[in-house]
Structure 1
Amino acid sequence: MLQKFKEHININFPFLKDKKLLIAISGGVDSVVLTQLLHELNFNISLAHCNFQLREKESDLDEEFVKLLAQKTSNQIFKIKFDTEKFASKNKLSTQIAARELRYNWFQEIIEKHNFDYVLTAHHADDNLETFLINLTRGSGLDGFTGIPKINGNIVRPLLAFSREEILAYAKTNTIDWREDASNATTKYIRNKIRHQILPVLKEINPNLLETFAKTLENLQESKQIIEDRIATISSEVFETDFSTEFILNAVERLEVTKINIDKINQLSNPKAYLYQLLKEYNFTEWNDVYHLLSTQSGKQVYSKTHRLVKDREYLLLSERDFSTALEMTFEIHENQFEITNPIYLTFEDVLQKSDENKQAIYVDKDLLKYPLIVRKWENGDYLYPLGMQGKKKLSKYFKDEKFSLLDKENAWLLCNAENEIIWVLNYRQDSRLSLKNTSKNILKITSK
């Protein structure tokens, strides 16, 4: 197996040579064999062991075993203990998911702190098949049937081409010791049920199951690539990138909003399926609700943990969620202030005359200002006297006439006087009540960025 592994690395993972590698090691046969193989091939490796404290003394014995292995192979070791059950309960996760989240987060911390290039895990061909069958029972989409990725960012899995049988045979032939996790024998977990009850039957039906499964994975991965190519083409046709100004704490930034053309989506052969492929990377889960946005009234929206999708007339508007508390607050500006950065960036400058006519600057009669000024979001009932227009207009009507999208309205900030009357819809329209008159003597220039 050593020679086969060496050739496999040279062909599929040549970038690992001369890199600083961190091996995720439990003490089980898979990770111990991976460590031994890389040690024999003189790779620059260190070990990382998580004690999840789920098996009482056995967990501590695993930790001690890995420590001795590191000494034997003269490799650096990183160790950590987790209160996995407490973390799982606090975050409402299964024990297995909690352990996975804890260890992968820790691996990334080690990488950043100690400048490792890659984390190597010991997943093998049987793990791949088990994962496929687990996803099959859960009704997964194509992504769940294309296998555990060989490379996922800085996570590398060099044993996926090898079976559990090959790994065990190598360990026994070379008298390699390992720790046996008694929980692997129980059928309490779905993976163990598949491993001990389902796979033996499938392998009896087809002794070459892993080989044929590898061919199936290859076919599915090729099909997935075709879909991805098609989705890339469709994305360029139905996605339109727009920018609306969003003011957040301590900065003025440009918020990217992706506009999805509803009419073009509806012209596709299967709008629901295309929406899934187009939006799956944004963490949405309620796909029926997403699909129904195509035909519902404007204003309806669906949230994922990271993004928001809003129906706005002929478009769906996709944007990152803003968790800033600034959206729910008001901020005061006092007479002696010449600059603010929270929640937006504004400067206040006494000038002799008006100049620099643009949307990022207004000029007001300083003698008419009543302090403190207020920066806030708009509310129902707000109105202004738009400069250059006759009379008073509700702000909601102004937004409609100016064709503000729902996100534009939410992202708009107002500068008001002490009586909460609007002075400026930031970067859009000044109110005429405090604008310069022929009699104005003291001119204040207010500029945003």
Structure 2
Amino acid sequence: MTVISDQEIADFSADFNTNSKNQVASRAARRSGLLEASFNDRVSERLNHVFSTELDVDGVTDQKHSGRCWEFATLNVLRHYFGKQNKVKDFTFSQAYNFFWDKIERANAFYNAMIRLADKPLNDREVQSWLAFAGEDGGLWSMAINLVKKYGVVPSYAMPESFNSNNTTGLIDSLARKERKDAIALRKLVSEGSSQDELEKAKKHFLNEVYRMVSVALGEPPKKFDLEYRDDDKKYHLERDLTPREFVQKYFKDFKFDDYVVLSNCPNHEFNKLYHMPLYDNVDGGDQIKFLNVPIEYLAQAAVAQLKSGDAVIFGNDVLKQMERKTGYLDTELYQTDKLFGVDTKMSKADRLATGEGFATHDMTLVGVDEDHGHIRKWKVENSWGDKYGHKGFYEMSQPWFEDYVYDVVVRKEFLTDEQVKLAEGPAIDLKPWDNIG
């Protein structure tokens, strides 16, 4: 192992000052910041607001300061469906309602895992993965659907947003701290030879406390509500005393939840394999969280086909890479920092995933695509960051950005190949909690 010598520092400085462009770049970067100094405004030439296929959707939603994009994206798909079926574009569902039940169900899954893994040391990698995941508010489409299947949905007015649903840091920090302390208690009970009944009694006590915490933070969810709205033709509708489950059973009876498959593109794992992520199984007794890993072109083909059928497409992505909120541009050439620095940081998608540089950080919804004789030019994206960003809350995404930074799409089986359908319905490979599959 060698240290950096004074001579090497002098060489570095001399090399930097050899090219006068470095000083120009430094002055621009110091004055306006690296991203602004490297911003490529020419991307606007291809990211306009015109699309060859475009769904008729109303305004966007706003998740505020929370990690609930997965619930917003899922409920956006459901509200578009409800709106189309009932001719009411501006109807919205309560994200707070499903968020409430996610906290309860995820605590239950956590406690079950702590009991199951109690014979492993506290520093075991799997145990540490569960402890790190405690209280989290991020998630995935399949997790949201598990909640909808078990608890239904309610209109946004039946359980409106509150400070703590819009700003989840305080709640998830409190839940994480409590669940980790409870984990120690459960592990101790197991080590003392407690019976299954004693463990279940302790878990029920902890869950009761979690329920109290979430109820204080969000309010208790409604058990019944009146469905009331005026449709696009100004016709008034009222249906009294619906339960959240009855609402789904009646108004989504033709929405085949089990027909949807998550196609992933994670080239650090073998293609044409179905993977299962046990860490994300948020509802015990619910559906497992699975992904069918395929080349990127299949994600694009299936997404286009579903959009042309008239339905939106949820997709997981790394939204913080090569994105500007103000314009809503998502383009691989947006910030040219490599040219500013005079370096090459380009990595393959597989290498980014393998090193932790790549990761799905957000869920959004595809609501349009622009094609030219089968060639995809760009996509229209519905975000959940309010209408002050992008084009009234909608973003424009280039096809190269899709290929680099999209990790999964949620599509119906009819848009898969026969072989992919067979794989999606077959056995899955269990992943370790630390495996990065986007």
TM bin, normalised by shorter chain, reads: under 0.3
Larger radius of gyration: 1
Richer in strand (by share): 1
Q: Higher relative CO (CA 8 A, sep ≥ 6), structure 1 or 2?
A: 2
